[in-house]
């Protein structure tokens, strides 16, 4: 009999791509409250008897009880994923990202489900790290509430591994790019240019420098790490080894969309918004030691994302 996997947030961007791959080898249950996720992201599985969708919320015990029925492994991807919103509404962020996650983890304990793969964020848990590329050994020092919530839940993954034998991988993702992504810088720039193809406002001075990874490379990493069945609590950076400045992303967008005479306006601050980390560069030695190798570079991933945006939302103008 195949293993049964629960994917929380499986109607969202990353979660739905995980479902696409897991369904080959697992029975898959998705729980998602559809606050951001879309039914169209898994429509192609709806007639598959190995697939079940539960419209439910990870902060509601009864929904989690249903979702965890007979499950062997949990891929926890449901979250409030917006740094800005976490700054404006810290308790809402806490409710979903810490309390919801804790309810899930505690029910796993009560049901004796012993494996979790958690979507954390290497872009936020380290804050303004002094060592770059940042290795997993560095103490988390988040500068946003979203980052604090991810780091807080990781600490419980650590204690639950020791106290109750729940093994976990905490995927400290850089930014991920690909089809179905409807937030983040590339999507936001595209939407702004769709509204006004002559002007692009960039939050900050454009010198913020981050790391981006193609969704196919990210999903390969997730599967390699879950197949490794690591014992204990295992934080692992999942990212590209390259970085790119926001300025360059804006240029690639303008060029990739075939636009000219676009006036790029920088709002000028070092951080794009409160809680924005100025530079993220992650060491991926730990991930590579498991045999992972990315296939796409950052610029290539951005261009692939632009192709999808045009296919999904139309060319500009």
Ligand X SMILES: NC(=O)c1ccc[n+]([C@@H]2O[C@H](COP(=O)([O-])OP(=O)(O)OC[C@H]3O[C@@H](n4cnc5c(N)ncnc54)[C@H](O)[C@@H]3O)[C@@H](O)[C@H]2O)c1
Active site residues: 146
**Residues 17-46 close enough to bind ligand X by CB under 6 A:** 31-37
How many chain residues are in contact with ligand X, going by CB under 6 A?
30
**Residues 212-241 close enough to bind ligand X by CB under 6 A:** none
Stretch that binds ligand X, among 57-65, 198-206, 221-229, 287-295 (CB under 6 A): 57-65
| Whole-angstrom distance, CA of residue 145 vs CA of residue 53 | 30
Candidate residues 51, 77, 153, 160; the one interacting with ligand X per rule CB under 6 A: 77
Which among 5, 14, 118 is positioned nearest to 51, based on CA atoms?
A: 5
Site string for ligand X, 100-129 (x = CB under 6 A): x------------------x-x-x------
| Whole-angstrom distance, CA of residue 18 vs CA of residue 75 | 9
Stretch that binds ligand X, among 64-72, 173-181, 202-210, 258-266 (CB under 6 A): 173-181
Candidate residues 4, 23, 75, 81; the one interacting with ligand X per rule CB under 6 A: 81
Q: For residues 57 and 167, which CB has a smaller minimum distance to ligand X in the complex?
A: 57
Q: For residues 97 and 161, which CB has a smaller minimum distance to ligand X in the complex?
A: 97
Beta strands in 9-135 (DSSP E): 26-32, 51-55, 73-76, 115-121
Stretch that binds ligand X, among 76-84, 151-159, 241-249, 253-261 (CB under 6 A): 76-84
H-helix or E-strand spanning residue 155: helix 145-164
Half-sphere exposure (Cβ direction) of 3: Cα atoms closer than 13 Å: 15
CB atoms within 10 A of CB 291: 9
**Smallest distance, ligand X to C-beta of residue 13, A:** 3
Structural contact between residues 174 and 123, judged by C-beta atoms closer than 8 angstroms: yes
Candidate residues 42, 51, 160, 173; the one interacting with ligand X per rule CB under 6 A: 173
**Smallest distance, ligand X to C-beta of residue 15, A:** 6
Coil vs helix vs strand at 78? coil
**Smallest distance, ligand X to C-beta of residue 58, A:** 4
**Smallest distance, ligand X to C-beta of residue 280, A:** 10
Angle, CA 184 vertex, CA 181 and CA 188 arms, to 5°: 95
Which among 139, 99, 136 is positioned nearest to 285, based on CA atoms?
A: 136
Is residue 275 involved in binding ligand X (CB under 6 A)?
no
| Whole-angstrom distance, CA of residue 272 vs CA of residue 62 | 39
Candidate residues 5, 18, 53, 96; the one interacting with ligand X per rule CB under 6 A: 96
Residue 102 phi/psi, 5° resolution? -70, -40
Provide the token pair at 233: 């609590």
Beta strands in the chain (DSSP E): 3-8, 26-32, 51-55, 73-76, 115-121, 167-173, 175-177, 199-202, 209-210, 212-214, 233-238, 244-245, 263-266
Stretch that binds ligand X, among 6-14, 194-202, 241-249, 303-311 (CB under 6 A): 6-14
Residues making contact with ligand X (CB under 6 A): 9, 11-15, 31-37, 57-59, 77-81, 96, 100, 119, 121, 123, 173, 175-176, 184
């Amino acid at each position: 009999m195949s293993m049964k996997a629960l994917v929380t947030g499986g109607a969202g961007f990353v979660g739905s791509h995980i479902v696409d791959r897991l369904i080959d080898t697992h029975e898959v249950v998705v729980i998602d409250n559809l606050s951001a996720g879309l039914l169209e992201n898994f429509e192609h599985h709806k007639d598959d008897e190995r697939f079940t969708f539960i419209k439910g919320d990870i902060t509601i015990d009864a929904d989690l009880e249903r979702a965890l029925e007979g499950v062997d492994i949990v891929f926890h991807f449901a979250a409030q994923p917006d740094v800005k919103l976490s700054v404006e509404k810290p308790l809402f962020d806490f409710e979903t990202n810490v309390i919801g996650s804790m309810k899930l983890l505690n029910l796993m304990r009560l049901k004796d489900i012993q494996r979790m793969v958690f979507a954390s964020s290497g872009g936020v848990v380290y804050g303004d790290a002094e060592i770059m590329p940042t290795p997993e050994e560095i103490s988390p020092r988040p500068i946003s509430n979203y980052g604090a919530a991810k780091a807080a839940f990781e600490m419980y993954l650590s204690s639950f591994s020791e106290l109750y034998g729940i093994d976990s991988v905490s995927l400290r993702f850089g930014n991920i790019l690909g089809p179905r992504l409807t937030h983040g810088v590339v999507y936001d720039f595209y939407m702004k240019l769709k509204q006004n193809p002559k002007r692009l406002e960039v939050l900050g001075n454009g010198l913020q420098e981050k790391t981006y990874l193609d969704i196919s490379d990210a999903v390969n990493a997730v599967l390699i790490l879950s197949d490794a069945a690591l014992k204990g609590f295992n934080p692992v950076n999942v990212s590209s080894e390259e970085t790119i400045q926001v300025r360059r992303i804006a240029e690639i967008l303008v060029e990739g969309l075939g636009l000219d005479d676009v006036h790029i306006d920088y709002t000028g601050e070092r951080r794009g918004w409160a809680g924005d980390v100025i530079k993220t560069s992650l060491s991926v030695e730990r991930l590579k030691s498991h045999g992972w190798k990315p296939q796409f570079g950052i610029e290539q991933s951005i261009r692939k994302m632009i192709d999808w945006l045009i296919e999904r939302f139309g060319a500009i103008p």
